[in-house]
Amino acid sequence: MRVRDEGNKVTATYKQHADLSFGGAREIEVVVDDFEMAVKLFEATGLVSKSYQETKREVWSLSDATITIDIWPWLEPLVEIEAKTQESVKAAAAALEFDWKDAVFGGIMVAYQHQYPNLAPAASIIDLPEVKFDMPLPDMLK
C-alpha cells in the first residue's frame, strides 16, 4: 500500500508484483483528498507505516503510452513506459529509440539491484525507514 503526494494530486495505491514480466504488476489506484488522512485511514485498518520515500518524477504522454522519468535517492534516473498493451509499450520504446531486449520489468528494487550488484538478494529499499535525497548512501547499498 502506498500514499503518494504528486504535487497536483494525492493517490492511494495497492501494488503487487506477482512476477517480473510485462503485466506482472497488479495496481489499484484512487485519487484521495488528503495525504495525512489517507495515511490515518490505512493505520486505522492496522497497517503500519514502514518507509517514507522521496522521489522526483516527470510524466509525459506518447501516443497511448505514459512515459515516466523517475529519480530515486542513490539511483541513476530511470524511464518507465506504461500502456494498456505490450504492443503500445513496444511502440513507445521504439519511438524513443530504446532496444526492447534491454527492457527490465518489476519494482524499483530491480533497478537498485542492477546498479548495486552487491546488494543482498532479499534486501529491499522499503526496509529503510526513510529514503531521502539529503541522506548519505545507506550501508545496504555499499
Residue 14, Cβ neighbours under 10 Å: how many?
Answer: 11
- Do the strands 52-53 and 130-131 form a parallel or antiparallel pair, or are they unpaired? parallel
CA–CA distance, 128 with 121 (Å, rounded to integer):
15
Spell out the domain ranges in the chain. 1-49, 53-120
Higher per-residue confidence, 19 vs 9: 9
**Confidence at residue 23, expressed as pLDDT on a 0 to 100 scale:** 67
Cell (9 digits) for 39: 495515511
Going by the DSSP 8-state scheme, the letter that residue 15 receives in this structure is: E
> Which tens digit of pLDDT belongs to each residue from 67-118?
999 999 999 999 999 999 999 999 999 999 999 999 988 889 999 999 999 9
**pTM exceeds 0.85, yes or no:** no
Q: How far is CA 95 from the centre of its chain?
A: 23
**Confidence at residue 38, expressed as pLDDT on a 0 to 100 scale:** 95
**Percent with pLDDT over 90 in the chain:** 82
Reply yes or no on whether the pLDDT at 21 is more than 90: no
